[in-house]
């Protein structure tokens, strides 16, 4: 069977640009992992006639149609009403969903309106997808060899519903015997084009597992996906491809799946029983905000000094005035002193500093994107010079990531 999947997101707020259609992105990734390719993304407003039109087009080109949104209690939530009418089906109450809604209103001592009761309506003959995080259940049914799945719009409801129940529905309904296993490899310090060039023959020769490159903000990820009836063998297939890839670009590899450079830094600091302190100029506290967002940050992070002006660098960080007069704030010498001083002042094992010209104008005659990152330990001090391109926000974000990258490399060298 040639399976062609289409996702139809329902909601005028999507067309008005008030929210981003992250549901379609999420579903496309999840569906790819179980071997279902998405051919079309459609967005339609809260209008029955236009939804009917979108559904008519989808029926002509797709045999799996997934809807998100329009299952709520308000007057413009018309997805299931419109689809049931188009398919010649009636709406019936799902008793479990209705009891769950009634129980919620009883517990919160609120009066349940008819609108709320409407959320328990489902298309007759549907397989019900339980909503563990909200009121409106999802549903799936097949009519004339087309599978329809209706999911709620809020991501906090839709995502767990699809992962816990929607995926299983497709796997059972389509008789998918093979286990599909994915693994994400994360790289930093190498561009997407260079990484692809280095492993191009592996990408060209991919069959099972498949290799899918994806660039994110200053990083590159590779999603490896293997299929096999035996999950253990699928994992072994992934191991084999991962080994081949990292034999070529392993120096840039830093972690798996949903980890981040900051998470890896935290793990290394905990493992080596080290603390870090930061002196931030162009990053303005971004490094500190990210590290303190992690649970248990107090065990690895002693604090920071945001020294955005030269006066603060001199008064609070005790950077020498001569250093700033002779070399400027955007310099290797300033970055080195900032890192050394913050380490001492905040009694940390390691000090890191960020100084540079983030833009949009040059700073002290230094071009936009000129960045210096200082890292000081009791044994040594190093400064890393970067020339970054992009927006002010992008330069600052990548500067912090480079800082994490260099810290992780330093910690890897510590016995």
The answer to whether the CB of 246 falls within 8 A of the CB of 255 is no
Residues 6+ away with beta carbon under 8 Å from 283: 354, 396, 399, 400
How is the chain split into domains, by residue range? 5-173, 179-256, 261-413
At 379, the pLDDT band (50, 70, 90 cuts) reads: very high
Burial 162-179 (b: 16+ CB within 10 A, else e): beebbbebbbeeeeeebb
Work out the average pLDDT over 29-50. Answer: 91
Q: Is 204 left (phi over 0), alpha (psi -120 to 50) or beta?
A: alpha
Give the tokens for residue 334.
Answer: 């300033």
Q: What is the mean pLDDT of the segment spanning 368-374?
A: 97
CB 150 within 8 A of CB 119: no
Judge whether residue 176 has pLDDT over 90.
no
Q: In percent, how much of the chain has pLDDT > 90?
A: 79
Binning pLDDT at 50, 70 and 90, where does residue 220 land? Answer: very high
Options 3.30.230.10, 3.90.950.20, 3.40.50.2300, 3.40.50.300; CATH of 261-413: 3.90.950.20
Alpha carbon distances (Å) from 40 to 7, 8, 19, 28, 87: 6, 8, 20, 10, 21
What is the per-residue pLDDT for 142?
96
Kindly state the greatest CA–CA separation across the chain: 82
C-alpha to C-alpha distance for 287 and 373, rounded to whole angstroms: 12
Does residue 135 register a pLDDT over 80? yes
Does 3.30.70.2860 match the CATH number of domain 179-256? Answer: yes
Mean pLDDT of the chain: 93
Tokens of 244: 């081949």
pLDDT at position 241 is 97
Per-residue pLDDT tens digits for 319-363: 999 999 999 999 999 999 999 999 999 999 999 999 999 999 999
CATH topology of domain 5-173: Molybdenum Cofactor Biosythetic Enzyme; Chain A (3.40.980)
Q: Is the pLDDT of residue 219 over 80?
A: yes
Q: What is the DSSP string of 265-330?
A: HHHHHHHHT--EEEEESTTTTHHHHHHHTSTTGGGTEEEEEE--SHHHHHHTS---HHHHHHH-SS
> Residue 1 — very low, low, confident or very high, per pLDDT cuts 50/70/90?
low
The two tokens of residue 227 are 């299929």
- Determine the pLDDT at residue 109: 81
- Please report the pLDDT score of residue 75 as a whole number: 73
Contact call for residues 255 and 264 (beta carbons, < 8 A): yes
CA dist 317 and 63 (Å) reads 64
* DSSP-assigned states of every residue in 177-209: -SEEEEEEEEEESS-HHHHHHHTHHHHHT-SSS
- What CA–CA distance (Å, rounded) separates 183 from 165? 22
pLDDT in tens, 91-111: 999 998 888 888 888 888 887
Give the span between the Cα atoms of 396 and 356, in whole angstroms: 9
**pLDDT, tens digit (0-9, with 9 covering 90-100), for 279-320:** 999 999 999 999 999 999 999 999 999 999 999 999 999 999
Cα angle: 235, vertex 239, 404; to 5 degrees: 115
Cβ atoms 376, 370 nearer than 8 A: no
Region 113-129: mean pLDDT is: 89
């Amino acid at each position: 069977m040639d399976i062609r999947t289409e996702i139809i997101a329902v909601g005028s707020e999507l067309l008005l640009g008030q929210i981003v259609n992250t549901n379609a992105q999420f579903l496309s990734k999840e569906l790819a992992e179980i071997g279902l390719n998405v051919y079309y993304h459609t967005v339609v407003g809260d209008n029955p006639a236009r939804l009917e039109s979108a559904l008519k087009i989808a029926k002509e080109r797709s045999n799996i149609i997934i809807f998100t949104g329009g299952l709520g209690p308000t007057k413009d939530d018309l997805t299931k009403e419109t689809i049931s009418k188009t398919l010649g089906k009636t709406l019936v109450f799902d008793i479990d969903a209705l009891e769950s809604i009634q129980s919620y209103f009883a517990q919160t001592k609120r009066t349940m309106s008819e609108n709320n009761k409407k959320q328990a309506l489902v298309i007759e003959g549907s397989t019900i997808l339980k909503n563990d995080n909200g009121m409106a259940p999802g549903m799936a049914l097949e009519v004339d060899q087309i599978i329809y799945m209706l999911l709620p719009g809020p991501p906090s409801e839709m995502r767990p519903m699809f992962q816990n129940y929607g995926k299983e529905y497709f796997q059972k309904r389509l008789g998918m015997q093979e286990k599909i296993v994915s693994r994400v490899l994360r790289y930093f310090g190498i561009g997407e084009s260079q990484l692809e060039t280095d492993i191009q023959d592996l990408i060209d020769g991919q069959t099972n597992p498949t290799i899918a490159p994806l660039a994110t903000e200053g990083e590159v990820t590779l999603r490896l996906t293997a299929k096999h009836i035996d999950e253990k063998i699928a994992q072994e297939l992934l191991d084999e491809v991962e080994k081949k890839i990292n034999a070529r670009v392993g120096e840039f590899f830093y972690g798996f799946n949903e980890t981040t450079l900051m998470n890896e830094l935290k793990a290394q600091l905990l493992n080596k029983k080290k603390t870090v302190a930061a002196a931030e100029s162009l990053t303005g506290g971004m490094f500190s905000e990210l590290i303190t967002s992690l649970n248990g940050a107090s065990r690895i992070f002693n604090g920071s000094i945001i020294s955005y002006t030269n006066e603060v660098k001199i008064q609070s960080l005790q950077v020498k005035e001569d250093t700033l007069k002779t070399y400027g704030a955007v310099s290797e010498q300033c970055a080195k002193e900032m890192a050394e001083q913050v380490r001492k002042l905040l009694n940390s094992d390691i000090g890191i500093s960020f100084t540079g010209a983030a833009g949009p104008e040059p700073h002290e005659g230094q071009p936009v994107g000129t960045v210096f990152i200082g890292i000081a330990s009791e044994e040594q001090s190093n400064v890393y010079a970067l020339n970054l391109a992009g927006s002010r926000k992008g330069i600052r974000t990548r500067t912090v990531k480079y800082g994490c990258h260099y810290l992780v490399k330093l910690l890897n060298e510590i016995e």
